[in-house]
Amino acid sequence: MKKKSLDQLIRKIKSNSVPFSVVFEITNRCNLRCLHCYQEMGRGELTEKEIKSILDDLCQSGTLKLTLTGGEPTLREDFLKIFSYCHQKGFAIILFTNATHLSPQVKKSMRKNPPFVVETSLYGASAKIHDSITQVEGSFDLSLQNIKWMAQKGIRVIVKSVVLLLNLHEVSSLGNLCQELGVEFQPSFRVFPSRHPHRSPEQFRLRTKEIKTFLRRERDFSNKNWIEQELFANEFICNAGREACCVSANGRVYPCVALRWECGDLKKNSFADIWSWSSTLKMIRSYKEEDFKICFDCKWKASCNFCPGMGFSECGNMLIPSKEICKFTKAFAS
């Protein structure tokens, strides 16, 4: 897309408060047990009929970019019906899967109607490290096999990885592996607090000394184009609740997957009503940069990859910056 056309699209989205991008968690079930997972794994899922009704509403509301995720979305018995319906509605589909459960039927459907992109996860360049993080033996080999298959079939793949104390030493090797496979690589240093009472992902976060050691060892890290590019990435205030939101497996609407500040329940109200009338969304949209008082005059602001969701999960207030984000910002900027 030409820059002029992209700028026009962004202005139109903003001026009309269009829910351009929606993440739909169609299930909480997962066949992996990742140490850093922050999902609740709660019970209760929307039915196929309910999901299709929501998809109709999203389409009418102007949603273009639709991420199907979970849990592991392909675990749903009706996944293929949902996936096909998304194509019928004309969404640009991002399928976020761990790539361990791609049945022959799913692969056939993906070849017939390729998603816009498949996002998947590898947590190491070796089975030993990856499987120790997913806690499922053989998960690395399954994911790698299916990533190779997708790349060979011309399906665009982005490999995401959360950088932890456990896999820091394999980040560069993993980047090189992705390059060999012909897929994109997007590592993230964000480890979110878990909403599950029996998990503590924070214990695997990098400390300042590990960050500095890593940056000294990998001096060209910032030049490897391993940074995720978002449509509104040049703005301090992110698009959560403004041009994007998340729908949970049980039908709750949130500003984003990380910012779990409930905006409404799709079992009680339509998406259009929630998007237009939610008091939570109205409050979020009213915030301006100067309302983020701690961040507004911060000297690191221009270098900050600010995340209100992480601030909310740490402090219960999206206006307060995450100490974890501050730590990384200062380390990378200096």
Average pLDDT over residues 85-98: 98
Average pLDDT over residues 195-206: 84
pLDDT of res. 39: 83
pTM, two decimal places: 0.92
Choose between 221 and 229: higher pLDDT. Answer: 221
**For residue 124, how many C-alpha atoms fall within 13 Å in the half-sphere facing its CB?**
20
CB 277 within 8 A of CB 289: no
What is the CA angle 286-278-304, rounded to 5?
A: 40
DSSP 165: T
Which of 137, 138, 143, 182 has the alpha carbon at shortest distance from 161? 143
Interhelix angle 79-89/104-112, rounded to 10 degrees, is 10
pLDDT category of residue 11 using cuts at 50, 70 and 90? low
CB 97 within 8 A of CB 118: yes
pLDDT at 244 over 80: yes
57-61, 132-136, 221-225, 296-300: range with lowest mean pLDDT = 221-225
| Cα 327 from Cα 322, distance rounded (Å) | 9
| Cα 167 from Cα 172, distance rounded (Å) | 10
pLDDT of res. 332: 79
pLDDT of res. 194: 80
Which of 142, 132, 214 has the alpha carbon at shortest distance from 172? 214
Average pLDDT over residues 19-45: 91
pLDDT category of residue 231 using cuts at 50, 70 and 90? very low
pLDDT of res. 9: 65
pLDDT at 229 over 50: no
pLDDT category of residue 180 using cuts at 50, 70 and 90? very high
pLDDT of res. 232: 44
pLDDT at 192 over 60: yes
3-state secondary structure of 232: coil
pLDDT of res. 230: 46
pLDDT at 283 over 60: yes
pLDDT at 225 over 60: no
pLDDT at 257 over 70: yes
| Cα 115 from Cα 92, distance rounded (Å) | 7
Phi, psi of 27 (to 5 degrees): -155, 155
Top mean pLDDT of 3-7, 231-235, 286-290 is at 286-290
pLDDT category of residue 305 using cuts at 50, 70 and 90? confident
pLDDT of res. 218: 72
- What contacts 24+ positions apart, CB below 8 Å, involve 46-51? 46/249, 46/250, 46/251, 46/266, 48/78, 48/81, 48/82, 50/251, 50/266, 50/267, 51/24, 51/26, 51/82
* Mean pLDDT of the chain, nearest integer: 90
In angstroms, how far is CA 324 from the centroid of its own chain? 18
CB 155 within 8 A of CB 107: no
Phi, psi of 222 (to 5 degrees): -70, -10
